[in-house]
């Protein structure tokens, strides 16, 4: 069984540099959702030199488009699992550099440029179980705000108060290591046998 | 009596059942995978999935936040719509009905389910990305009308999330590439999808027909319960061969490695032009949300995908 590390946000560079591939992690504190549209907006705002309504520095960005419900006391989270991170591949290196975010939470992993940016600026990728939206929602204790709601519920930036958020797995570390890269190499190693089982030419 | 109100209510119930409860076959396959998995990280992923499924049932809430776009399959024959049937038995069996009331009732059901279940408002205009907020729009929900000899109206819904749908692919192979070409293409698609479609996945493969037909067949292949095989022996053999070879690829749950990558491989085919060999692959994530309802003429409704009904 893997033992879990419980950490509170904000995270320091030392915190994230001490993570190893395969570590199980849980986070408590404030995290922010951002998907494609929000990433583009945020980078656009920063490029112009304007200030952002939220500060990602030393915090975590959660690739997530939640289901929210509005009632008399405000917003309530219904379901909030991770979305496919690779859609943000082209935007994430710039996002990490400019915002100083320390952790990216998502599913499916990200590309080499993002891995390089993580190594350079001190950031990690924490894999969350895709589709496990209610397990995730169970650890979201409150919604502290929503920005750019006009982008629609999934694309808006939600400010989430989380407690023992996870389970998360360190899948890309701040030293250039990536489970996805290891898996890719392993898959490649398995290909000859699979091809021979299928009667295909090598 | 089958009327618009009943079809609307059934649509809401279908979407609720699909979003909250996995079909029995999928749940059982995930439980088996958990038992068989040896890798720690992989087992932890499957454990979280099973906990999440249980939580969905307890709370009556959607298991995944991506409640997809809504694809409906309506098997028409047998509806006695007195306003549209001229009275001749022949016209009943060729499914000659005015079906626009069904289209309207299903769309209305989708709007209501979006509020009531609730579902995430996912459908947007493809160019402006404007979101009407109720999961309806141009050709959405998408409804495939089919004919059948049933004496009930059957409606099946598939909620298709983008994570797995975005990995879909189709290719026009040349006939000389043959079965080997098909296998290569499936292998290549699975490798390049990696962890993106939320494995463990079900592969839906459509072979033959035309570019559009094989793509539709790949999707329809996913409607078949796990553990079933195509009635054509050659196709069933191909399903087994692909499953047996590809299951050991090592992608693992969520692409983090491990032995559980596939829950099943389903193939559908259509005959095609002598000069072409179209093939398509559609990925279904572990959250294989589908539900089927049968509405009888007296207004009785069964949900065979979820009731354990026949
Ligand atoms: S791929 Fe499926 S399980 Fe994963 S987030 Fe999308 S809909 Fe949910």
pLDDT per residue as tens digits for the range B46-93:
999 999 999 999 999 999 999 999 999 999 865 444 444 444 444 444
Cβ atoms within 10 Å of B125's Cβ, excluding its own: 11
Q: What percent of chain B has pLDDT above 70?
A: 92
Instruction: Sort A197 into a burial class: Cβ within 10 Å, 0-12 / 13-18 / 19+.
Output: middle
- Residue in the structure block whose two tokens are 């990280």: B41
Contact A198, A71 (CB under 8 A): no
Q: Write down the pLDDT at residue B268.
A: 98
Report the predicted TM-score, pTM, of the whole model to 2 decimal places.
Answer: 0.92
Report yes or no on A199 lying in a domain.
no
Instruction: Mutation target for A interface from B135, B195, B258: give the one with most A CBs within 10 A.
Output: B195
Q: Write down the pLDDT at residue B308.
A: 63
Domain around A63: 4-177
Q: Write down the pLDDT at residue B88.
A: 46
Report yes or no on A184 lying in a domain.
no
Report yes or no on A202 lying in a domain.
no
Q: How many domains does chain A have?
A: 1
Report yes or no on A197 lying in a domain.
no
A136 pLDDT more than 60: yes
Report yes or no on A195 lying in a domain.
no
Cα dist. B30→A129, A171, B1, B191, B260 in Å?
14, 23, 39, 21, 9
- How far, rounded to the nearest angstrom, does the alpha carbon of residue B164 sit from its chain's CA centroid? 11
Rounded distance between C-alpha atoms, residue A16 and residue A201, angstroms: 44
Give contacts of B287 with chain A, Cβ < 8 Å: 131
Rounded distance between C-alpha atoms, residue A175 and residue B138, angstroms: 47
A21 pLDDT more than 70: yes
Tokens of B253: 């749950």
Report yes or no on A30 lying in a domain.
yes
Average pLDDT of chain B, as a whole number: 92
Report yes or no on A189 lying in a domain.
no
ipTM over 0.85: yes
Rounded distance between C-alpha atoms, residue A140 and residue A125, angstroms: 19
- How far, rounded to the nearest angstrom, does the alpha carbon of residue B111 sit from its chain's CA centroid? 20
B36 pLDDT more than 80: yes
Report yes or no on A183 lying in a domain.
no
A2: confidence class by pLDDT, cuts 50, 70, 90: low
Q: Write down the pLDDT at residue B208.
A: 98
CA distance to partner chain A, nearest, from residue B251 (Å): 6
Mapped to the 3 state alphabet, what secondary structure does B252-278 carry?
Answer: CHHHCCCCCCEEEEEEEEECCCCCCEE
Question: Tens digit of pLDDT for each residue in B115-139?
Answer: 999 999 999 999 998 889 999 999 9
CATH of the domain at A160: 3.20.130.10
Of A133, A154, A169, the CB nearest to B41: A169
Q: Rounded to a whole number, what is the largest CA-CA distance in chain A?
A: 64
Q: Write down the pLDDT at residue A1.
A: 53
Of the given ranges (A133-142, A189-198, B146-155, B210-219), which has the lowest mean pLDDT?
B146-155
Q: Write down the pLDDT at residue B97.
A: 55
Contact A64, A89 (CB under 8 A): no
A73: confidence class by pLDDT, cuts 50, 70, 90: confident
Q: Could you confirm whether A6 is annotated as catalytic? A: no
Rounded distance between C-alpha atoms, residue B169 and residue B178, angstroms: 18
Q: Indicate the SS3 state at residue B71.
A: strand
Put simply, whether B192 touches A (Cβ < 8 Å) is: no
Tokens of B25: 């076959």
Contact B136, B123 (CB under 8 A): yes
């Amino acid at each position: 069984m893997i033992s879990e590390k419980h950490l509170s946000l904000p995270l320091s560079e030392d915190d994230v540099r001490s993570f190893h591939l395969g570590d199980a992690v849980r986070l408590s504190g404030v995290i922010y959702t951002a998907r494609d549209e929000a990433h583009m907006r945020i980078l656009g705002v920063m490029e112009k030199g304007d200030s952002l309504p939220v500060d990602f520095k030393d915090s975590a960005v959660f690739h997530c488009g939640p289901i929210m419900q509005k009632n008399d006391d405000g917003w309530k989270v219904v379901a909030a699992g991770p979305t496919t991170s690779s859609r943000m591949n082209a935007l994430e290196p710039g996002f990490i550099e400019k915002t100083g975010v320390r952790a990216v939470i998502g599913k499916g992993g990200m590309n080499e440029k993002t891995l390089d940016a993580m190594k350079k600026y001190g950031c990690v990728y924490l894999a969350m179980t895709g589709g496990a939206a209610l397990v995730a929602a169970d650890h979201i204790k409150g919604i502290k705000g929503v920005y750019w709601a006009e982008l629609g519920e999934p694309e808006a930036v939600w400010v989430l108060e989380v407690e023992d958020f996870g389970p998360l797995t360190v899948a890309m570390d701040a030293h250039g290591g990536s489970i996805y890269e290891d898996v890719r190499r392993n898959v490649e190693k398995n290909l000859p046998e699979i091809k021979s089982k299928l009667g295909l030419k090598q | 009596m089958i009327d618009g109100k009943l079809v609307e209510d059934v649509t809401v119930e279908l979407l609720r059942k699909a979003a909250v409860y996995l079909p029995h076959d999928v749940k059982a396959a995930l439980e088996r995978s958990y038992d068989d998995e040896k890798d720690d990280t992989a087992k932890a992923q499957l454990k979280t999935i099973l906990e999440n499924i249980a939580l969905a049932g307890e709370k009556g809430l959607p298991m995944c936040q991506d409640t997809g776009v809504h694809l409906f399959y309506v098997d028409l024959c047998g509806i006695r719509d007195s306003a549209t049937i001229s009275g001749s038995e022949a016209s009943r069996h060729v499914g000659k009905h005015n079906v626009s009331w069904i289209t309207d009732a299903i769309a209305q059901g989708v709007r209501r389910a979006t509020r009531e279940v609730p579902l995430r408002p996912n459908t947007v205009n493809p160019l402006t990305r404007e979101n009407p907020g109720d999961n309806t729009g141009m050709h959405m929900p998408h409804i495939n009308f089919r004919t059948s000899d049933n004496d009930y109206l059957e409606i099946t819904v598939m909620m298709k999330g983008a994570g797995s749908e975005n990995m879909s692919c189709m290719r026009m192979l040349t006939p000389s590439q043959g079965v080997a070409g098909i296998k290569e293409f499936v292998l290549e698609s699975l490798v390049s999808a990696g962890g993106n479609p939320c494995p463990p996945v079900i592969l839906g493969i459509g072979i033959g027909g035309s570019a559009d037909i094989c793509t539709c067949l790949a999707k329809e292949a996913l409607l078949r319960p796990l553990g079933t095989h195509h009635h054509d022996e050659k196709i069933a053999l191909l399903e087994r061969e692909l499953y047996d070879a590809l299951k050991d690829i090592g992608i693992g749950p969520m692409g983090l490695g491990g032995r559980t990558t596939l829950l099943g491989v389903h193939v559908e085919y259509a005959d095609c032009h002598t000069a072409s060999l179209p093939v398509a692959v559609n990925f279904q994530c572990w959250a294989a949300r589908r539900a089927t309802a049968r509405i009888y003429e007296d207004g009785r409704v069964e949900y065979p995908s979820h009731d354990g009904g026949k």
